[in-house]
Amino acid sequence: MAGGLKEVRERIKSVISTQQITKAMKMVSAAKLRRAQNAIVQVRPYAERLNRMLSNILSNLDGDATTSFGKERPVQNVLLVVMTSNRGLCGGFNSYINKETVALINSKYAQQRANGKLTLLFVGKKGYDFFRRRFNDINYNTDFIGVYDQPTYENASELSKKLMDTFSSGQYDAIEIVYSKFRNAATQIPTAEQWLPVAKMEVADDASKKKSDYIFEPNKEVLLETLVPSILQLQFHKCLLDTIASEHGARMTAMGNATENAEELLKSLRINYNKARQEAITTELGEIVGGAAALEG
């Protein structure tokens, strides 16, 4: 019985130690989440408004002007940018993004995968760790995994420029970003978003006859070739900030749940310990009484 008590005591100490770690991780994630949330809240409205404006402009061009980033061509070579974290212990955050990527591959780009013309570029290593163990018929690019740890606009802009160059040169016919859209600390939405070519805004048939009257200064070609890359860079950075905020929100929630579960486990262990201790005391008392009775007899 003494051995059982010692085992329960050791387990209680282990759970308390784990609980202290999860509490600390929750506090760290909460602090990081505040900064990340402020960043995405400031950027998102601006980025989404610019993206809608860009789609609207491209939808209303008469055909005499266009941008290389809006040209649609037969989709043969595809690049998927997969944004995941570098670390775990954040619940199902990375798993949901990976599942969204797998679903996109199987449903939309199965033919490109079969032809060996599908490439995955990873920002954050958890996505690469998942896919390299499961898919050997996909091309991988791991040159920019480290961008996730330094998500400045400059780093995101440099990467997005390189991706735009690959699209303009015809290396890839379509580029999509798979990331996690941040809603709040408890809700993150895995999202696949077409980045290139720039999607045109869909309009109803009765509205398609009415084109917005835009005045371009300077001319359309110069303006589009200057404006479009800037908007695409901001959109790419927005996706990265969304994912980072989602990671910290998911980790804070996961560590909070782990702390609560540890507390419930501690309650159960302490009850079991007290029961075992009471049984040991009762057994010892029984042995003492029995021994005293034997001596008296």
Neighbours of 113 (CB within 10 A): 16
Neighbours of 114 (CB within 10 A): 10
In terms of Cα–Cα distance, which of 229, 234, 201, 190 is closest to 44?
234
DSSP tag of 116: T
List the structure tokens of 107.
Answer: 């449903």
Active site residues: 90
- What are the residues whose beta carbons fall under 8 Å from the beta carbon of 65, sequence distance 6 or more? 219, 220, 221, 224
List the structure tokens of 282.
Answer: 């009762």
Separation between Cα atoms, residue 296 and residue 70, nearest integer Å = 102
List the structure tokens of 229.
Answer: 């890359």
Separation between Cα atoms, residue 10 and residue 233, nearest integer Å = 54
170: left (phi over 0), alpha (psi -120 to 50) or beta: left
For the chain, report the end-to-end CA distance as a whole number of angstroms.
Answer: 29
Backbone torsions φ then ψ of 122, nearest 5 degrees: -105, 130
DSSP tag of 146: G
